[in-house]
Amino acid sequence: MKENVVTVDENSTVETACKIMGERHIGSVVVTHKDKPYGIFTERDLLSKVITKGADIKKAKVKDFTSEPIVTINQDFNIIEAARIMADLKIKRLLVMKDEKIIGIFTAADLADFIARSSLEL
Q: Give the pLDDT of the chain (122 residues) as one tens digit per residue.
A: 999 999 999 999 999 999 999 999 999 999 999 999 999 999 999 999 999 999 999 999 999 999 999 999 999 989 999 999 999 999 999 999 999 899 999 999 999 999 888 866 54
- pLDDT for 120 equals 60
Distances in Å between the Cα of 36 and the Cα atoms of 27, 33, 72, 107 are 20, 5, 12, 20
The domain defined by 7-120 folds into CBS-domain (3.10.580)
How far is 31 from 37, CA to CA, in rounded Å? 6
What is the number of residues in the chain? 122
Residues 6+ apart with CB under 8 A from 122: none
- pLDDT for 56 equals 96
- pLDDT for 100 equals 87
- pLDDT for 117 equals 86
Alpha carbon dihedral 98, 104, 106, 110, in 10-degree steps, equals -130
- pLDDT for 121 equals 58
